[in-house]
A and B are shown apart, each in its own frame.
Chain A
């Protein structure tokens, strides 16, 4: 820490949101070991997400999914130079306190883990470390931002390899933002009520036409084409969870997805990087998952 300068300000919204700004146009990859973190960094990930089991395994093995072991997180931080994110359970502010002292760069308050509180999310303003939170629609995104989230990720349905929910969520969020920009003030009061979000945030978005924080997409991205599609739909960047390390050739797939995100609007590059990647993750159709096992409905 450099606290020699009296006027230095740590943990401000600008500093928290700023790191997410620098991750834009990049791919954040789920990793469960230091060796996977090495592969992710070498492939060009802008950050890694440290967790104990990728969502596909959480889904197949069941049980309560919690924050990772601090030793695992330490080993991943020691392995890579890029930012390290880690997941805390929804509402589990002590897991968040632990992750902050471990020196991770961003906390994901994530529906992929088992929620610790079915009423409240973490009061993220209490922390110096920034948080990213999931959202399926604009109201949910704004409630998280109001609680202090410095980055939003559309949820999708993690651990499926089925991109349809990710598509739905990014389209929903951006569609609702567009709708706000066409509203008069009297309509915005009603919109705030319907979105269950603070009027001030709603009014701000009606003026700017975008979220005040960076918006990544997650949940079901398994191919370079999936990632590029999310970018064309307006995502600032992409999280890839099970899609890389549950595939046949993680190194090559990870590097291909990185290239597809940079050249998201160039079908020729995306075609080239899509060749010979081997088996994609097996995948489950979201429509085949019984409702109690849907992760995207966690969070309130």
Chain B
């Protein structure tokens, strides 16, 4: 695929079909970083805060941030239910860190009453490594993205504790804990490619959009 051929480098041109529109959930978190990566990959980007803004997007990125805040705001401003319906309907969604938590069917160590959108057949443990002094960066092998390791930043990050039969693990830490998963049109990572100049996850995600749009 042409999109994957530019692995790890900043692309100079796009192979995306014109008019493909990617939303970035902009309730809280590092949504501008995701928008920037997606624009550099040639996508049209919409920041999404209102239910009606979901109607015109072909896919959605849920950024890093505070999952409990995103959950509350998504419910208060009426985004949660239409988003759940869109995910059930096959909308491609990529979540990083807090976004991964939002996509998990089960959240462990969540806040009182914390809800997720669900979609990924996984159980995610929130803040699985401890306080900020346990946050770290490391290299990960991700076979789906080629030989070059992914440099991954984990910030008070979640871990996928259980990968259900419908989901597939894409990457694990040396100790075997799962930190990246996919399931159909859904993709989730515990870490933040958007702040390390790593474009391959977003490219991989855009391929799902292209396929879904056909």
> A288: CB under 8 A from chain B?
no
Chain A residues, Cβ within 8 Å of B97:
22
Chain A residues, Cβ within 8 Å of B26:
25, 262
> A21: CB under 8 A from chain B?
yes
**CB of A3, distance to nearest CB on chain B (Å):** 9
Interface code A1-26, partner B: CB below 8 Å = 1, 0 otherwise? 11011111111101100110111111
> A81: CB under 8 A from chain B?
yes
Within 8 Å by CB of A21, from B111, B132, B136, B195, lies B195
Cβ B72 vs Cβ A129 within 8 A: no
Cβ B137 vs Cβ A12 within 8 A: yes
The CB with the most chain B CB atoms within 10 A, among A6, A18, A105, is that of A18
**CB of A126, distance to nearest CB on chain B (Å):** 13
Q: How large is the interface on A (under 10, 10 to 19, 20 to 34, 35 or more residues)?
A: 35 or more
The CB with the most chain B CB atoms within 10 A, among A9, A19, A21, A259, is that of A21
**CB of A175, distance to nearest CB on chain B (Å):** 21
Majority secondary structure, A binding face: loop
Cβ A262 vs Cβ B139 within 8 A: no
Bound CA–CA A12/B132 (angstroms): 11
Cβ A19 vs Cβ B132 within 8 A: yes
Chain B residues, Cβ within 8 Å of A2:
129, 134, 136, 173, 175
Chain B residues, Cβ within 8 Å of A105:
131-132, 156
> A41: CB under 8 A from chain B?
yes
Whether A10 contacts B133 in the complex (CB less than 8 A), given A22-B98, A44-B72, A259-B76, comes out as yes
Number of B interface residues in the complex (CB < 8 A): 46
Cβ B138 vs Cβ A8 within 8 A: yes
Cβ A11 vs Cβ B133 within 8 A: yes
For the complex with contacts A21-B33, A22-B97, 6 further pairs of A-B residues with Cβ separation under 8 Å are: A4-B173, A4-B174, A10-B136, A14-B195, A25-B27, A25-B65
Majority secondary structure, B binding face: loop
Whether A41 contacts B73 in the complex (CB less than 8 A), given A4-B174, A19-B132, A103-B131, comes out as no
> B31: CB under 8 A from chain A?
yes
Interface of A toward B, CB cutoff 8 Å: 1-2, 4-12, 14-15, 18-19, 21-26, 41-42, 44-47, 77, 81-83, 100, 103-106, 128-130, 258-259, 262-263
Bound CA–CA A245/B19 (angstroms): 48
| 29 A-B pairs in the complex with CB atoms less than 8 angstroms apart | A2-B129, A2-B134, A2-B136, A2-B173, A4-B174, A5-B175, A7-B138, A7-B139, A10-B136, A11-B133, A12-B137, A18-B155, A18-B192, A19-B155, A21-B30, A21-B64, A22-B30, A22-B65, A26-B28, A44-B69, A46-B28, A81-B68, A83-B156, A103-B133, A104-B131, A104-B132, A258-B73, A259-B76, A262-B27
